Structure 1
Amino acid sequence: MSHTHNKPHRNSRLTARLLHHFMSGKAAARKAFPSGTLKEIQNTIAAGEKTHRAELRVIVEASLSLGAVMRYETSRQRAHELFSHYRIWDTEENCGVLVYINLADHKVEIITDRGVGPELTREQWQDACAIMTRGFAQGRYHDSVLDALRTLNDWLAQKLPADRSKPGHNEISNRPLVL
């Protein structure tokens, strides 16, 4: 009986999510992350990677495909898919970090490889996400993502300091992607 009762509620949530993803397009991503912000993200990642061995990549996605929404794909599942697709796991020390931002779902997911994930606490990874989501809720995309990246860079520099024998070592592009 409760299964039938929940079905209309689930359908209304799906309809709302479909509409939200349909209405969130590339223009929303460009507005939230203009070229100047993307360049600063790239520079912040590059500066941080001079102090630690982790390899960060930021991917911003305006919305999921309508098919993905219909399949109830979560932002976390999409982040894992992108982690694999862009080979963020493919580093010498298994130290890739994906910061995935889904604008339509208002979600930030951080996916880490095995060589870097355990170096920070679960709370630290969650705090970095919260820095962004709190700022995004206020329309502060630029400052929030940069604050979170600087925070991650500081924590990672403490736990995985840069190997001075490999200056300029960069295995994953620092350029953020907007999908």
Structure 2
Amino acid sequence: MSDLSAYISKKEEKYIVDAIKTAEKNTSGEIRVHVEKKCPADDAFDRALEVFEKLEMHKTELQNGVLFYVAIEDHKFVICGDKGINDVVPKNFWESTKDIVISNFKLGNYSQGLVDGILKAGEELKAHFPYQSDDENELSDQISKA
């Protein structure tokens, strides 16, 4: 695990984790954020899929996990949704969510970009996978780092 504190402060990390908790409060969906300095793969989407599996996001009961992947120094960003959520979101949903995040990134507002994207994804998850009384938080809300 590398030190990413130069990019995301502890306060910003808490802000992002709180957004994940807020987004997941009304849905059975699961959201994770993975941050690393550089993307070790030629293709950022391939790397996001690799991280998705490593974090066992494909094991959620309803296949409704969403990964926000960021390679800071390479300026790479991918949103990766599992089959369950991908099958039900509007056609341009991930691109429009990605646009919100990237527009913030371009202004240097990295944590706000992630928070805005996470909350938007949470609303969509809520619409298709509402919270059930027996729901369990299947995945950690903490930011994964490499």
TM-score by length of 2: 0.90
Q: CA RMSD in A?
A: 1.6
Q: Does 1:157 align with 2:126?
A: yes
Structure 1: runs of 5 or more not aligned? 1-25
Give the conservation status (yes or no) of the 8 Å contact 2:22–2:119.
Answer: no
Of stretches 101-110 and 137-146 in structure 1, the one that deviates more from structure 2 is: 101-110
The one-letter code of the counterpart of 1:178 is K
1:31 aligns with 2:45: no
For this pair of structures, how many residues does the alignment match?
145
Are the equivalent residues in 2 in contact too, given 1:49–1:153 (CA < 8 A)? yes
1:99 to 43, 50, 68: 68
- Unmatched segments (≥5 aa) in structure 2: none
1:61 to 36, 59, 62: 36
Identical amino acids, percent of aligned pairs: 27
What is the CA–CA distance in structure 1 between the aligned matches of 2:76 and 2:53, rounded to whole Å?
Answer: 19
Deviation at 1:108, TM superposition (A): 1.5
Shift of residue 122, structure 1, vs aligned partner = 3.3
The runs of at least 4 consecutive aligned structure 1 residues that moved more than 6 Å come to none
Match of 2:134 among 159, 166, 173: 166
Higher Rg of the two aligned structures? 1
Could you say which structure has the higher helix fraction?
A: 1
Shift of 1:178: 2.2
Q: Aligned partners of 2:125 and 2:99: how far apart in 1?
A: 17
**What is the rounded CA distance, in whole Å, between the counterparts of 2:112 and 2:6 in structure 1?**
14
**Greater RCO, 1 or 2 (C-alpha within 8 Å, sep 6+):** 2
Shift of residue 175, structure 1, vs aligned partner: 0.5
Structure-2 separation of matches of 1:44 and 1:99 = 13
Give the counterpart letter for 1:83 in structure 2. F
Rounded to whole Å, the distance in 1 between the matches of 2:51 and 2:100 is 22
TM (norm. structure 1) is 0.75
Partner of 2:145: 178
| Alpha-carbon displacement from aligned partner over 1:55-111 (angstroms, at most 9, x marks no partner) | 11100111034xx4xxxx111111011111111111111111111111123221111
* 1:122 and 2:91 aligned: yes
